Amino acid sequence: MSLWVDKHRPRCLDQLRVHSKPARQLQKLLAGGDCPHLLFYGPSGAGKKTLCLASLRELFGPSVEKLRTEQKTWQIQLPSRKIEVELATVSSNYHLEVSPADAGRRDVHVVQEIIKEMAKTRSSTSVFQQQQQQQEQEASLVKPAKCAYKVLVINQVDKLSSHAQHALRRTLEKYSATCRVIFTCTNLSKVMGPVRSRCVCVRVKAPSTEEISELVSEVAGKERKEVPRGLANKIAASSERSMRRALLMLETASLGKLDESQELQLPDWELFIKDVAQEILREQTPKNLYLVRGKLYELLVNCVPADTIFCKLVHELLRKVDDTIKYDIVSTAATFEHRMRLGTKPIFHLEAFVAKTMSIYKEWSISNFG
């Protein structure tokens, strides 16, 4: 049984009402069967993945939804040694979806070797279309194939290292005849200019709370659930303008009785980060820093992204501290988040941020309360 967020995902561009304007632009762009390199950018839960899958269906039809999930291991020969890179892929006969950022510091090898290998070989469908086109040309019945290329979907391109993005720029140019690339990212400023300039950038803005409230009521109706208007508005207000988050909260709330007085259940990792923020402000000692480090490491072990931890932790701290030190905390967070992006061990930079924040808060407490 699939989650509601996947079960009720719009399948084609005509069904997209929340992002009807980008959908119409994509329909015009893809009308001739040709597809430029695309870059979808916007906040998490705004609908980038939905637009991406709907664009693939527009190009290749409903058969693109027959997906295979694999965990592949590649042997990559470097000048000094041989390394193994294991990566999860989702593919059909027409496209392949991959997240090179999951390979960590080896993402440059994924871009240089693995994606190039995929881009060099045409799909079996493209080869068949090419053979059919040659036969028709011989019979003087020229009917060009609609799509004689594969599509690579690369998620979280903004999390790739600078070396990987430089390698990706060359891949876009060299294999454009047999391959198109669709990128998704949250922060466009972290994608280098040469990559952006080679793509058609499509902004996917976060939906309004009214649109999310209507979506919640619509999905509940499809599941034969009656959601009070007040509860739908409460879910929309707590969703942080994320459709994915709103539908997950709705599905969780549907396990009980749906009424306006119902308390919404937040994800466990968010409650955990709230406790971490409370611990930072409760006591500023080396012992407490060691305990907080253990909690942060537990979040990382449970696959909560480090940048998400940074963002949520800063927001929780800013809600609890005095206005006079908010600027110092934000500046400190920006410094260590940048260092974390350049480094390899997120826990070091998270711990350094917590230590500096403890120092800032303790100095403020001493100066104001003695």
Instruction: State the CATH number of the domain containing residue 291.
Output: 1.20.272.10
Domain identity same for 238 and 275: no
Domain identity same for 23 and 107: yes
Domain identity same for 196 and 339: no
Structure tokens at 165: 């993005």
What is the pLDDT averaged over residues 327-336? 94
Averaged pLDDT of the chain: 85
Domain identity same for 288 and 364: yes
Domain identity same for 249 and 272: no
Residue 9 belongs to a domain: yes
Is the pLDDT assigned to residue 143 strictly greater than 50? no
What is the pLDDT averaged over residues 310-334? 94
Residue 210 belongs to a domain: no
Q: How many domains does the chain have?
A: 3
Domain identity same for 146 and 276: no
Is the pLDDT assigned to residue 178 strictly greater than 50? yes
Lowest mean pLDDT among 42-46, 77-81, 280-284, 332-336: 77-81
Is the pLDDT assigned to residue 14 strictly greater than 70? yes
Question: What residue numbers bound the domain in which 232 lies?
Answer: 223-253
pLDDT in the model for residue 43: 92
Residue 214 belongs to a domain: no
Residue 40 belongs to a domain: yes
Residue 218 belongs to a domain: no
Going by pLDDT thresholds of 50, 70 and 90, the confidence category of residue 154 is: very high
Is the pLDDT assigned to residue 320 strictly greater than 70? yes
Domain identity same for 233 and 302: no
pLDDT in the model for residue 78: 78
Domain identity same for 316 and 365: yes
pLDDT in the model for residue 131: 42
Domain identity same for 246 and 170: no
What is the pLDDT averaged over residues 208-223? 92
Domain identity same for 242 and 315: no
User: pTM for this one?
Assistant: 0.82
Going by pLDDT thresholds of 50, 70 and 90, the confidence category of residue 145 is: very low
pLDDT tens digits, one per residue of 277-308: 999 999 999 999 999 999 999 999 998 888 89
pLDDT in the model for residue 77: 78
Going by pLDDT thresholds of 50, 70 and 90, the confidence category of residue 104 is: confident
Domain identity same for 112 and 163: yes
What is the pLDDT averaged over residues 53-72? 88
